Amino acid sequence: MPGSFRFLDDIALADMAFDAEGESLPALFEAATHALIESLADPVTITETWRHTVDMEEADIETLLFEWLGRLVYLKDAQGVVFHRATLSLTQNTALTAWHLHAELTGAPVDPATQDLRSDVKGVTKHLYAVTQEGTSWKARVVLDV
């Protein structure tokens, strides 16, 4: 089952917030990634002329998700792009001491004439940030600085 997300209007008035959830950690990461991509622009209006690979590793899942979402914001600003899609894989090393994220991103340079641009996200905040497991489901609350 794929993950899901919903934007939260009553959490952070000056910022944008969302809850993401999934029946697995990969589904959670996909849902949170999709929420961030959707907050930037309508991915349907973004062509796939830009490609980028990201590999990241962190000791814990909370930090990995936070750093991953921050990397997306960084790439948006540093390379002047918005995203069409992110294909992710998430693995834990054999010693169970670190998590690895591999992502293939596609998108295009920002073009207000052809793209449905939404919010100019400045960063991911630690305000109310949480990653929790409830049974077999995973949930994250994320506040974006816009």
Q: How many domains, the chain? A: 1
pLDDT at 96: 86
Cα gap 146→12, rounded to integer Å: 11
In which domain, by residue range, is 52 found? 4-145
Q: Which two tokens stand for residue 53?
A: 């690979």
User: 136 near 3, Cβ under 8 Å?
Assistant: no
Tens digit of pLDDT for each residue in 91-135?
A: 999 888 999 999 999 999 999 999 999 999 999 999 999 999 999
Q: Which two tokens stand for residue 97?
A: 């001491």
What CATH number is given to the structural domain containing 81?
3.55.10.10
User: Any bridge partners for residue 89, and if so which?
Assistant: 102
Count of alpha carbons within 13 Å of 124, Cβ hemisphere only?
26
Kindly state the average pLDDT of the residues 9-36: 88
Confidence class for position 52, pLDDT limits 50, 70, 90: very high
- Backbone torsions φ then ψ of 27, nearest 5 degrees: -65, -40
* pLDDT over 70, % of the chain: 95
pTM over 0.85, yes/no: yes
Mean per-residue pLDDT over the chain, rounded: 93
